[in-house]
Amino acid sequence: MSAWVITGIFLVLYFGVSVWLLRGKIRLEARELCVCGVMIAMTLILEMIRIPIPTGATIPLASPVPLLLLAVLWDYRLAILSGWVCGIAGIFVVPAWQPVHPAQILIEHMVCFSCLGYAGVFGTDRRWKVLCGIVLASVLKLCGHLLSGVLFFSQNAWEGWGAWGYSMGYNISQNVPLCLIAGIIVMALPLKALGRVVRKEPVI
């Protein structure tokens, strides 16, 4: 099965599920728009602060944290929508996110930020549910980068690795540490107390 066929199936499933999850979220309140704007700005700023690693990849400075928190503390649907905005805005403000092919915008840019909203799909009332959501979001993010690497960056493959091997090695070295650090940061926070503050509930 070719990489394009695999990618097509992945995109149909991903966007189909995402649109289904967004059902009922048509209008955004002014407060929600403000919160989304702040989280989008924070994400893009962190994306521009990058740490180079030996594989040639660069690791952003915990950039998934703002959208993960938006999904966990507020509404995962807002995080998905904000992720799509990040994917488009990143093209103009993040040098590392300039696409080499128009299809990369759909395959990578529109997936690898919005998938962070999946951190809240299992619920947020228990930490294990949040952890499962973060793992799911991390896997989806890795899939988006992996497929993009195979389709658009195979010419950079290390000798003897091939397109799939190179993309896996490159993107695993980048995304596993990134998602691990972001997940640890989110899980270390007092999520229940922060959730009460966000929802304006009394902290007891």
pLDDT at 201: 54
**Which residues, in sequence order, are CB contacts of 11 under 8 Å at separation 6+?**
106, 107, 111
- How far is Cα of residue 188 from the mean position of the Cα atoms in its chain? 19
- Flag whether 111 is in a domain: yes
- Flag whether 203 is in a domain: no
CATH code for the domain of 117: 1.10.1760.20
- Flag whether 204 is in a domain: no
- Flag whether 69 is in a domain: yes
**Residue 166 domain boundaries:** 3-198
- Flag whether 129 is in a domain: yes
User: What digits encode the pLDDT tens for the residues 2-24?
Assistant: 889 999 999 999 999 999 999 87
- Flag whether 176 is in a domain: yes
Are 191 and 72 in contact by the 8 Å Cβ rule? The answer is: yes
The total domain count for the chain is 1
The pLDDT of residue 202 is above 70:
no
- Flag whether 33 is in a domain: yes
DSSP state of 27: -
Mean pLDDT of 158-172: 91
The pLDDT of residue 138 is above 80:
yes
pLDDT at 199: 65
**0.85 cut: is pTM over it?**
yes
- Flag whether 184 is in a domain: yes
Terminal Cα-to-Cα distance of the chain (whole angstroms): 56
Mean pLDDT of 22-27: 78
User: What digits encode the pLDDT tens for the residues 50-75?
Assistant: 899 888 888 998 999 999 999 999 99
Mean pLDDT of 153-165: 88
